[in-house]
Amino acid sequence: MLTADETLAMLEACPAGVLVLSPEGRIRWLNQSLADFLGEAPDALIGKSDEDLTAPHLSAMLGLPELLFIPSGGAAERYLSCRALQLGTARVGFFIDVSAEHILSEENATLAKQVREQVPRDALTGLLNSRGLFQDLERHLARSRRYDNPLAVLLLRPGGFAALEPTGASSDAVMRGIAHMLRDQLRWADSVGRLEDTAEFMLVLPETDEPAAQRLAQKLRQRLRNLTLPEGGTLAMDVAMGLSQWQRGDDAGLLVRRAREQLEAAPPG
pLDDT digits (tens, 9 = 90+) for 224-264: 999 888 777 788 888 999 999 999 999 999 999 999 999 99
Q: Give dist(CA 125, CA 153) in Å, integer.
A: 20
Which H/E stretch holds residue 262? helix 252-265
Q: Given a cut of 50, is residue 167 above it in pLDDT?
A: no
Judged by average pLDDT, the poorest of 83-87, 170-174, 198-202, 203-207 is 170-174
pLDDT class for 118, splitting at 50, 70, 90?
Answer: low
The whole-number pLDDT of residue 165 equals: 44
Residues in the chain: 269
Query: Which sequence spans correspond to the domains of the chain?
Result: 4-102, 119-265
Q: Is the dihedral of CA 9, 12, 18, 20 positive or negative?
A: positive
Q: Which residues contact 264 (CB under 8 A, 6 or more apart)?
A: 242
CATH architecture of 119-265: 2-Layer Sandwich (3.30)
pLDDT class for 7, splitting at 50, 70, 90?
Answer: confident
Q: Give dist(CA 227, CA 156) in Å, integer.
A: 14
Which H/E stretch holds residue 12? helix 4-13
More confident residue, 75 or 236: 236
Q: Given a cut of 50, is residue 169 above it in pLDDT?
A: yes
pLDDT class for 5, splitting at 50, 70, 90?
Answer: confident
Burial of 181 (0-12, 13-18, 19+ CB in 10 A): middle
CATH architecture of 4-102: 2-Layer Sandwich (3.30)
Two domains, one topology: 4-102 and 119-265: no
Q: Given a cut of 90, is residue 98 above it in pLDDT?
A: yes
pLDDT class for 269, splitting at 50, 70, 90?
Answer: low
Q: Given a cut of 90, is residue 49 above it in pLDDT?
A: yes
Burial of 50 (0-12, 13-18, 19+ CB in 10 A): middle
pLDDT class for 148, splitting at 50, 70, 90?
Answer: very high
Q: What percent of the chain has pLDDT over 70?
A: 91
The whole-number pLDDT of residue 121 equals: 85
pLDDT class for 95, splitting at 50, 70, 90?
Answer: very high
Which H/E stretch holds residue 128? none
The whole-number pLDDT of residue 75 equals: 58
The whole-number pLDDT of residue 201 equals: 96
Judged by average pLDDT, the poorest of 10-14, 48-52, 149-153 is 10-14
The whole-number pLDDT of residue 116 equals: 60
Do residues 199 and 161 touch, judged by C-beta distance below 8 A? yes
Mean pLDDT score across all residues of the chain: 88
